[in-house]
Amino acid sequence: MSRRAAVLVARGVFPEVLERLVQHFDVEANADDSVWPAAELSARLLGKAGVFTTGSERIDAELLDAHPQLRAVCNMAVGYNNIDLDACTARGVLVSNTPDVLTETTADFGFALMMAAARRITEGEHFLRAGQWTKWSFDMLAGAEVHGTRLGVLGMGRIGQAIARRGALGFGMPVIYHNRSRLDPAIEQQLGARWVGKAELLREADHLVIVVPYSPQSHHLIGAAELAQMKPGATLTNIARGGVVDDAALAQALRDRRIAAAGLDVFEGEPSVHPDLLTLPNVVLTPHIASASIATRLAMANLAADNLIAALGCGPQAGRPPTALNPQVLAAQP
């Protein structure tokens, strides 16, 4: 009997998903769900052929060079900016992510976050809990309209398109979008969406939702100059990745009321949050939970497990991980 491969599950995960992995591998699991520092992660990767990661674990060239036996890095997330994909590919390490399964749940949350910012829902709750609601007044916590206003989407992938559908079909919102490449005209027509340049998107959107992947090219894609181009009554919602928006510049724009409000689920350097954002009433803050329904998180975990099982040559999809980011490395693996 051949020796079973060893794998590391770097964060806490559903017991049923761990049980699936145990059927194929010798599994070391993170029972405490600790966020391991780099040195501890490296120590625990000794002898491991694969690792089940989340956004918390940095997989870079230095770590890979210390573990030449590593063959698969399977991320329980759509984004993979925690992983140096080029370094993995150069060393023959398979990388996968978990797209599709979280699209609708994330879009639901993004739209809810945008509405909460526009209609001042968090601000209203704080106002009520503090005992400040003593009478009705005509302008008490009056926010921005959503229905029929112009929705701007920056990044028109799966989630961006799902956001656009909600706005166009559910709220009668004209949709404009900016993307590196235009959608097929048939999809644009289905979504009621019109491609515009980035400057026009910023200038014309009443509600801007950001859904671009993070990369060095998208770092601070929205900064002080871009915020200055937006309408004073506009809202900004970021469900993409921390670092796409310059949080310090956004805090200043919110404080100066250069834009009306923001909804943020992601932050630079998270779980740390820029302290200026914490002091502002006109921003809704959530702790990176856009995909956090039980059904969706379970689907993400199972897809990451599917990828790990297949990448290491087990199960019915052996050698064919369903959502590999660099499948070309499989041909070169022994």
Nearest to 52, CA basis, from 34, 29, 32: 29
List the Cα angle 220/226/230 in 5-degree steps: 140
Element (H, E) at 187: helix 185-191
Set 28, 104, 200, 270: catalytic member: 270
Dihedral over alpha carbons 30, 34, 36, 37 (to 10 degrees): -170
Residues linked to residue 41 through DSSP beta bridges, in sequence order: none
Buried b (16+ CB within 10 A) or exposed e, 145-181: ebeebbbbbbbbbbbbbbbbbbbbeebebbbbbbbee
What is the layout of strands, in order, in the sheet containing 235-238? 193-195, 175-178, 151-154, 207-210, 235-238, 261-264, 283-285
Nearest to 244, CA basis, from 173, 183, 164, 160: 160
Tokens 């210390």, residue?
A: 66
Set 24, 178, 207, 241: catalytic member: 241
Note whether 71 and 52 are within 8 A (CB): no
Q: How far is 307 from 20, CA to CA, in rounded Å?
A: 12
Tokens of 276: 């200026």
Note whether 175 and 168 are within 8 A (CB): yes
Set 4, 58, 219, 288: catalytic member: 288
Quick one: residue 99, left, alpha or beta (phi over 0 = left, psi -120 to 50 = alpha)? beta
Decide if 241 is catalytic. yes
CA 318 → CA 289, 306, 313, 328, distances in Å? 32, 9, 4, 15
- Residues catalogued as catalytic: 241, 270, 288
